[in-house]
A and B are shown apart, each in its own frame.
Chain A
Amino acid sequence: MNLRQRLYLVEVLSGLGLTAAHFFRNMGRHIARALGWSGVSGAVTIQYPEERRPYSPRLRSLHRLVRREDGSPRCVACMMCETVCPAHCIYIVADEHPNPEIEKVPRRFDIDLGKCVFCGYCVEACPEDAIRMDTGILEFSSYSRGGMIYTKEMLLSLEPAHADGRPRAPIPLPANRRP
């Protein structure tokens, strides 16, 4: 090390200068934006949740059950997802479908998102393309364990995300389970 580095004080001051330069530049840009000058790109901070980064198209978000044209679930309760699920968080109970061509339908289809590890195996295992993880919904916290269990009706009411990954529908929590 040379004398300048060994003096230490010079290096500290140059570091502080760099930090201060970023601070004042960003402050200037934020003020400019606040005054309506939209052309400037702001600092690296993204103002979540008002602002969001674009999601990857491969993002695995909250599950949804795909519907048939008549609104009934496409799921045939084959239990492939339940079997492959490493977290054992899918609970299906099968029932007879009135149409013998379809034969089987889930009477109950619950996902315990408190246990789910979002591996996406259920989507891959499904032979009917009946479960997808493309809602774009990432925020579904709850104050209770019970609130993390999503039923068939809730999963069926979800819509796929917009092309840019923004969720199309809010989380369908029934009134009695909202925090």
Chain B
Amino acid sequence: MPKLTVNGKEVEVPAGTNLIEAARSAGVEVPHYCYHPGLSIAGQCRLCMVDIEKTPRPTIACNTVAADGMVVLTETDRVRETRKSIMEFHLINHPLDCPVCDQAGECWLQIYYMKYGLYDPRMTDEKVHKPKAVPLGPHVILDAERCILCSRCVRFCDEITGTGELGIFERGDHSEIGLFPGAELDNKYSGNVVDICPVGALTDRDFRFQVRVWYLETAKSVCPGCARGCNIEVHVNRRRPHHAEGRRVARLKPRFNADVNQWWICDAGRYGFGSVDAKDRLLVPTRRDGETTSDATWDEAIAAVAAAVRRFPPDEVGVIASPRMSNEDLVALRRLLDICTIQRVAFGVPPRVPGDEDDILIRADKSPNAQGAELMGLAGDARAILGAACGRRLKCLWIFGHDLLASAWPEAEVREALDGAEMVIFTGTNSNPTSERAHWVLPAAAWVERDGTYTNFEGRVQRFRQAVEPLGQALAEWEMLGRVLAALGEAPSATRAEHWFRRLATAGPSFAGLSYQALGDTGRLVAGSVAARAPR
């Protein structure tokens, strides 16, 4: 392991580490545009120049491997002068349209210009004009004028997705990023080029002109789109409710986790947050009597549910839990089932269309917590419950989140099951044909509106945190289940999701020793599970 000195501080780094990463481990930031730890090294931008003792001129840090005894200086006058010149070079043809650019506020040209800019431009010639607002695909829009040709997006499409839609065309100052003839940037990971673009050349069509980034607040979260459980950041706009037509969740961004998703997320996950602020969100508990539905208070709803599970014999109650529920919800449900001695419970409802899968991130199982539900001892296939309901052996059916009418099960059978039960309770975030047939509908908080944990396919327990307040009167499932438990006479003990997680950690062997503190930002594997191969 080579030992080197960065700005007077000695660090030891693994062999093969480049100087940007070595400096980072010494707490020194080397400015750069084209270098990205997840991509190959291009050496395009020339901004990461550093001085190395005994070398005649500044050297690019990204393509220099740390060697034993190296003395690296990143803040000498010569380096600062070089950075200033290179920034000037990058900005020769860059339009000054920061006011209309969506990247403004998180743009590395802005950040580095503030630090190393020339401030007194010497350019007198007309700028080269290039195409603006060119859609590259369903999610990404290009402004070729703003591009500094770092080639990160080109390398991403070549190396990560292997689809190679993008290239650099023309020569000299007319060079521009573009699509190969006939190609469209529509691979399943296309949104990532927006994240890695250090400037405003590639921006999100979905996010375009919706909210300025400085109005956004962030919360660390986990993508609920599939069993991978990619780490994400939820960006919410709570300060300017008139922006983005009142949608609170503005966008999702990947969050680095070396063991799960590295720097990336797929487009399905990235743009799959629409249901959170959709018009069909369930806002208040409702009861249905024949054809008439009416709003109810939570007290009435909880009393009705508690009365139902108490009134019906346990073997006439069926519960279809959901793999979209968090571990905390499931342990609360487990507790309720145990004290009511309800046996008919399962979580798996097959989707009508099987999920797609690839060898990068996307998993066929489109629910975030099937592994957690399994570890909690719930049955995987809910078909038996449907059968019992069809055979009129169930009086009460409690469905969590699923739209049974959109599943792979025959629609006639599902209709018969829903019509046959004396009491159908639906708990979920959004209304669907199944919820419309329920006698009681209990609105649940979406995953960005609450705390919790998911267990991904390899058994990694990861936390997601509340980013916004629940819409309407929606409650997290663990909270409504806790209220039902209290109505059944159990002493209330959990006022936060964490309390249920503590009970989970002491309940069984799999989650033993885990706590919110231990999970941290990147999660921990449950006992007995083996980490899957890190994605490409």
Contacts and interface: CB of A to CB of B under 8 A. Distances in A.
Nearest to B208: A96
Interface in A84-119: 91, 93-96, 100-104, 108
Interface in B225-268: 240, 242-243
Interface in B26-41: none
B145 to A, nearest CB: 10
B114 interface: no
Size category of the binding interface on chain A: 20 to 34
Given A91-B242, A93-B242, A93-B243, A103 B100 contact: yes
B7 to A, nearest CB: 36
Contacts of B133: 100, 103
B240 A104 contact: no
A95 B99 contact: no
A103 B132 contact: yes
A104 B100 contact: yes
Interface residues of B, number: 15
A78 interface: yes
Contacts of B212: 78-79, 83
Contact of B99 (A96, A100, A101, A128): A128
Contact of A77 (B97, B131, B209, B214): B209
Nearest to A102: B100
A77 to B, nearest CB: 7
A78 B212 CA distance: 8
A159 interface: no
A76 B132 contact: no
Given A82-B240, A101-B132, A103-B133, A96 B209 contact: yes
Contacts of A91: 242
B327 to A, nearest CB: 40
A154 interface: no
B100 A78 contact: yes
Contacts of B131: 100
Contact of B209 (A82, A95, A101, A102): A95
A15 interface: no
Contacts of A100: 131-133
Interface in A116-168: 127-128
B99 A80 contact: yes
Contacts of B215: 83
Contacts of A93: 242-243
Contacts of B132: 100-101, 103
A57 to B, nearest CB: 27
A53 B100 CA distance: 41
A101 B133 CA distance: 9
A83 B100 contact: no
Nearest to A76: B100
A127 B99 contact: yes
Nearest to A125: B99
Nearest to B212: A79
A82 B239 CA distance: 11
Contacts of B209: 77, 94-96, 104
A146 to B, nearest CB: 15
Contacts of B100: 76-78, 102-104
**In this complex, which of A76, A94, A96 has the most chain B Cβ atoms within 10 angstroms of its Cβ?**
A94
A150 to B, nearest CB: 15
B307 to A, nearest CB: 47
A83 B239 CA distance: 10
A34 B97 CA distance: 61
B405 to A, nearest CB: 37
A39 B133 CA distance: 66
A94 B212 CA distance: 10
Contact of A83 (B97, B214, B242): B214
A113 to B, nearest CB: 17
B240 to A, nearest CB: 7
Contacts of A101: 132
A131 to B, nearest CB: 13
Contacts of A83: 212, 214-215
Interface in B2-28: none
Nearest to A128: B99
Interface in A45-98: 76-80, 82-83, 91, 93-96
Contacts of B242: 91, 93, 108
Given A83-B212, A101-B132, A103-B133, A78 B243 contact: no
A127 B96 CA distance: 11
Interface in B109-151: 131-133
Nearest to A127: B99
Nearest to A103: B100
A82 B99 CA distance: 12
Nearest to B214: A83
15 contacts: A76-B99, A76-B100, A78-B212, A79-B212, A91-B242, A93-B242, A93-B243, A94-B210, A95-B209, A100-B133, A102-B100, A103-B97, A104-B209, A108-B242, A127-B99
Chain A to chain B: the 3 pairs with minimum beta-carbon distance, closest first: A78-B99, A100-B133, A94-B209
Interface of A: 76-80, 82-83, 91, 93-96, 100-104, 108, 127-128
Given A78-B100, A93-B243, 20 more contacts: A76-B99, A77-B209, A78-B99, A79-B212, A80-B99, A83-B212, A83-B214, A91-B242, A94-B209, A94-B210, A95-B209, A96-B208, A96-B209, A100-B131, A103-B97, A103-B132, A103-B133, A104-B209, A127-B99, A128-B99
